[in-house]
Amino acid sequence: MDSQQNINNNASVPQVSSQVGNFKVYTKNTIPIVAFLLGPVGACYMLAKNFESFGDRAAAKKTWTILIVAMVIYGIYVVSPFTIPFINSLPILYTIIIYSRTNDLQGKILDEHIKNGGKAYSGWKAFGVGILSLVITLVYIFALALFIKPLL
């Protein structure tokens, strides 16, 4: 009973059971690769999808909230008249953050899932998610640049 209370107290990190669920996950290496090559939206989708697969809807919602706040901040930067050379290092920065958060929050459970015979989504599925998220990000940036920036 104490172990069940310990699991409930540590809700932000999914716990591994000895049984493998009948679901697929995105691996801890795939997520940061997609983040670096195709943007953080797809990586956050993958993190949230993994949280949902392991039954942690609260962490999935938190992941989406963090992404939305980050995109709003990025949107403010896009429409801002000030330019900062920092933008060139942004992909490296968010990839490092996503990699470390993926390892901290899902690394052990993802390793156990795969070790126990669980399945992972293919790299092509992750690539497709990344391409779709890149399109969404570009539409967001163009909408800001075309409709919001002229109003300022």
- For residue 95, the enclosing domain spans 23-151
Q: Is pLDDT at 16 greater than 50 in this prediction?
A: no
Number of other residues whose CB lies within 10 A of the CB of residue 62: 16
Q: Please say whether the beta carbons of 125 and 30 come within 8 A.
A: no
pLDDT at 10: 46
Residue 49 within a domain: yes
Q: Is pLDDT at 52 greater than 70 in this prediction?
A: yes
Residue 134 within a domain: yes
Residue 139 within a domain: yes
Strand, helix or coil for residue 25: strand
Residue 17 within a domain: no
Q: What letter would DSSP give residue 80?
A: -
Residue 66 within a domain: yes
Question: How far is Cα 59 from Cα 50, in angstroms, rounded to an integer?
Answer: 10
Q: Please say whether the beta carbons of 105 and 12 come within 8 A.
A: yes
Question: How far is Cα 134 from Cα 128, in angstroms, rounded to an integer?
Answer: 10
Residue 31 within a domain: yes
Total number of domains constituting the chain: 1
Whole-structure pTM value: 0.79
User: Which one has a higher pLDDT value, 110 or 152?
Assistant: 110
